[in-house]
Amino acid sequence: MELSDLTEKMHAFVRSKGWYEADTQRPQTPRNLAISLSLEAAEILEHFQWREEPVDKDELASELADVTLYLLQLASVSGIDLEEAVLKKLDVNAGRSWDKGPTTKND
């Protein structure tokens, strides 16, 4: 399944709940979606608190899915082509180095 297919399925779900309607109690604004994304990402950390591996991988998968859905929606309502953004970022990161060692003032 393509990222665009997942995005459309996400939009269909949100529309079915009426969350894109003007009078909704859950306005799907970029701000609200960014907050929700952050909250869901924090829930992933709970699965690793005090342990190296999650106890319940199905629950972890559910939280990862929540993060993915909010990310897809935030990108879409913000007019960002997430596939393009990811590819650009991979190109930028390919030219970066994280393992050069400590730098000094004279470097």
Name all domains of the chain by residue range, CATH numbers in brackets. 3-83 (1.10.287.1080)
Report the pLDDT averaged over residues 71-90.
97
Measure Cα distances from 95 to 22, 88, 91, 99, 107 in Å. Answer: 44, 11, 7, 12, 19
Q: Tell me the DSSP string of 40-71.
A: HHHHHHHTTTTSSS-S-HHHHHHHHHHHHHHH
- For the chain, the average pLDDT equals 93
Of 58-72, 73-87, 89-103, least confident by mean pLDDT is 89-103
The confidence score (pLDDT) of residue 99 equals: 83
